[in-house]
Amino acid sequence: MAKAYQRILLKLSGEALMGNLGYGIDPAVVQEIAQEVADVVASGTQVAIVVGGGNIFRGVKASSAGMDRANADYIGMIATVMNAMTLQDALEQIGVATRVQTAIAMQEVAEPYIRRRAMRHLEKGRVVVFGAGSGNPFFTTDTTAALRAAEIDAEVIFKATKVDGVYDRDPTGDADAHLYKSLTYSHVLTHDLRVMDSTAIALCKENNIPIIVFNLSERGNISRAVAGEPVGTIVGGSCDVT
């Protein structure tokens, strides 16, 4: 497999691990994701992953129902660690050395997040899964993905979603929705396209980290994106609309 990138950061939502279930983790889906990541690692590309926790607990939703926002966000961070450990198990089952690092200390089950250690793992060909978000409430795992990508010198963020890329309207309810092939950071922010939250987009813009948004459910998309093939929407290039 060809590769266009030496080091990438893959952003997975918690919902991506849920598959068609209404809640929790679908082991078959996790195994498929693990195999795709294994193929990328085998090509020589270094892979870091940030995973969300919305399949288990969503802090924003809980806070809107009356829970203290900071407490709700901390619970959500713990949910991401559950997902990170699940991914680690699936990867190691197929022979991919993996480390989980968390922004909240959980020394019995994971390493603390240490930037230099994470980079050393990547250099040795290990996958690093970052759990517990940034360790701070009021920040999303999208922002964490942008932050970690900048910290570890990742060349690109791959955001895996349930749709083919970024549209001007919701494609599930509008057959005429336009799929963008390329967008500037400014266009995303100005038109509130919700690729990632505005803090994450601003971080990527400041550090010149492109974001490639693609459909995770299409087998082989991660490998195609790593190979530099046109997949989904790239944010950080030119804009294909006026």
220-238 pLDDT, tens digit per residue, is 999 999 998 989 999 997 6
Confirm whether residue 12 is marked as ligand binding: yes
Residue 240's pLDDT is 63
Statement: residue 242 has pLDDT above 50: no
- Domain map of the chain by residue range? 7-235
Confidence of residue 161 (pLDDT cuts 50, 70, 90): confident
pLDDT of residue 44: 94
Q: 105 falls in which pLDDT band (50, 70, 90)?
A: very high
According to the annotation, is 169 in a ligand binding site? Answer: no
H or E element at residue 47: strand 46-51
pTM of the full predicted structure? 0.93
CA dist 149 and 230 (Å) reads 21
pLDDT at 184 over 70: yes
Ligand-binding annotation for 199, yes or no, is: no
Task: Tell whether residue 141 is among the known ligand binding residues.
Answer: yes
> Does the annotation flag 135 for ligand binding?
yes
**Is 134 annotated in some ligand binding site?**
yes
Does the annotation list 138 as a binding residue? yes
Find the mean pLDDT for residues 51-56: 92
Using only C-alpha atoms, what is the Rg of the chain?
Answer: 17
- Which of these ranges, 4-8, 34-38, 147-151, 174-178, has the smallest mean pLDDT? 174-178
Please indicate if the annotation marks 180 as binding a ligand: no
> What is the pLDDT confidence band of residue 239, given thresholds at 50, 70 and 90?
low
Q: Is residue 167 annotated as involved in ligand binding?
A: yes
Q: Domain 7-235 is of which CATH architecture?
A: 3-Layer(aba) Sandwich (3.40)
Q: What is the mean pLDDT of residues 142-165?
A: 95
Consult the annotation and say whether 140 binds a ligand: yes
Residue 130 annotated in ligand binding: no
Cα–Cα dist 109/132, whole Å: 12
> Can you give the pLDDT at residue 24?
92
Tell me if 125 is assigned to a ligand binding site. Answer: no
The answer to whether residues 205 and 188 touch, using CB atoms and an 8 Å cutoff, is no
